[in-house]
């Protein structure tokens, strides 16, 4: 599928990069995870029939080719407002939002914001993968990023290639999935100017106490939701996916065997098969 880049001007002139392709009637809006970009979907995109779907791959604020303003506004709520503004700007009428990890939390929050404000929503269904859905103890790397002195120092002294390698070893169950091509794809935007600030700002915006009753909010989500999880996810463990499924009546849960935190990359065929079945049922 041929994809073309575009830019959306968010508040205060912040430029948000996205790629779009396909000419189908059903729009799929993809949201990546923490410290990644639109390239995380490279294995999924070729599997999507362009005559059935229109796809949009967004680089969220601070990631990929999008602007990285030093404004401190990198919370899930802020990214959700961005997604809502983009959908409105594009005049999208019926969208399935597909989010991985941080992007999954953004997808759910965007819908909840719209519901709270009693707005008519173009978000008609959601797919989340290994989603940051509940408060949990942050991984050691995240905890260190939040520290005033250690965080900036760690980013300066640890080479990007080492950080990317260690991250990939954590997120992939099958270590053979860490190919040289995938490694270079990850590091391409990991080295981007301003990303170190974005990562620290995003982690500093995580306040678990704000989400203590989030399960009650998820029970209010009545649109179709497909949950996909890697059986061997060490970052956000499968029990979180099970809890999310229990908190959303009518949701579907599929756990992919022998798979880590990134099922769309590690098991793209199995992941798309689940997505296809879900999308065909809408």
Residue 154 lies in a domain: no
Residue 144 lies in a domain: no
pLDDT value at residue 136: 72
Predicted TM-score of the model (pTM): 0.94
Residues facing 139 on adjacent strands: none
Helices (H), the chain: 76-90, 102-116, 140-146, 150-157, 160-171, 180-190, 195-204, 214-218, 238-247, 263-266, 268-280
Residue 100 lies in a domain: yes
Q: What is the DSSP string of 107-155?
A: HHHHHHHHHHTT---SEEEEEEES---S--PPPHHHHHHHSTTHHHHHH
CA pair distance 69, 150, nearest whole angstrom: 22
- pLDDT one-digit tens code per residue, 9-57: 999 999 999 999 999 999 999 999 998 999 999 999 999 999 999 999 9
pLDDT value at residue 37: 95
Percent of the chain whose predicted confidence (pLDDT) is above 90: 71
Residue 84 lies in a domain: yes
* CA dihedral for 170, 171, 173, 175, sign (positive or negative): negative
Residue 218 lies in a domain: yes
pLDDT value at residue 119: 66
CA pair distance 132, 115, nearest whole angstrom: 20
Residue 11 lies in a domain: yes
Better-scored residue on pLDDT, 190 or 80 = 80
Q: Check if the beta carbon of residue 32 is closer than 8 Å to that of residue 79.
A: no
| pLDDT above 70: residue 146 | no
* CA dihedral for 184, 189, 195, 198, sign (positive or negative): negative
Residue 207 pLDDT level (bands cut at 50, 70, 90): confident
DSSP state of 271: H
- pLDDT one-digit tens code per residue, 104-127: 999 999 999 988 876 667 999 999
Residue 81 lies in a domain: yes
Residue 188 pLDDT level (bands cut at 50, 70, 90): confident
pLDDT value at residue 117: 78
pLDDT value at residue 142: 64
Containing domain of residue 222, as a range? 4-137+208-280
Residue 172 lies in a domain: no
Residue 139 pLDDT level (bands cut at 50, 70, 90): low
Lowest-confidence pick of 104-113, 118-127, 148-157, 193-202 = 148-157
Q: Supply the CATH number for residue 37's domain.
A: 3.40.50.1820
pLDDT value at residue 58: 98
What is the number of structural domains in the chain? Answer: 1
pLDDT value at residue 141: 65
- pLDDT one-digit tens code per residue, 270-279: 999 999 999 9
- pLDDT one-digit tens code per residue, 25-35: 999 999 999 98
pLDDT value at residue 31: 98
């Amino acid at each position: 599928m041929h994809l073309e880049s575009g830019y959306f001007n968010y508040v205060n002139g912040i430029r948000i990069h996205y790629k779009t392709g396909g000419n189908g009637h059903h729009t799929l809006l993809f949201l990546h995870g923490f410290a990644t970009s639109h390239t995380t979907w490279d294995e999924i995109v070729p599997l999507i029939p362009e005559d059935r779907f229109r796809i949009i791959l967004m680089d969220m604020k601070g990631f990929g080719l999008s602007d990285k303003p030093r404004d401190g506004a990198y919370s899930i709520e802020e990214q959700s407002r961005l997604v809502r503004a983009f959908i409105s700007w594009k005049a999208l009428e019926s969208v399935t939002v597909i989010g991985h990890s941080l992007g999954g939390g953004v997808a759910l929050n965007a819908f909840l914001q719209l519901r709270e404000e009693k707005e008519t929503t173009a978000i008609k269904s959601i797919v989340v993968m290994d989603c940051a859905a509940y408060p949990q103890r942050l991984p050691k790397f995240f905890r260190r990023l939040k520290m005033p002195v250690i965080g900036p120092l760690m980013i300066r002294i640890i080479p990007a290639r080492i950080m990317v390698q260690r991250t990939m070893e954590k997120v992939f169950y099958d270590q053979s999935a860490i190919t040289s091509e995938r490694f270079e794809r990850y590091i391409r935007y990991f080295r981007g100017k301003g990303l170190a600030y974005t990562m620290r700002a995003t982690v500093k915006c995580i306040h678990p106490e704000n989400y203590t009753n989030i399960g009650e909010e998820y029970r209010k989500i009545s649109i179709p939701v497909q949950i996909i999880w890697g059986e061997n996810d060490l970052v956000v463990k499968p029990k979180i996916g099970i809890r999310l499924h229990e908190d959303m009546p009518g949701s579907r849960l599929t756990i992919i065997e022998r798979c880590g935190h990134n099922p769309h990359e590690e098991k793209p065929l199995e992941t798309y098969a689940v997505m296809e079945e879900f999308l065909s049922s809408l």
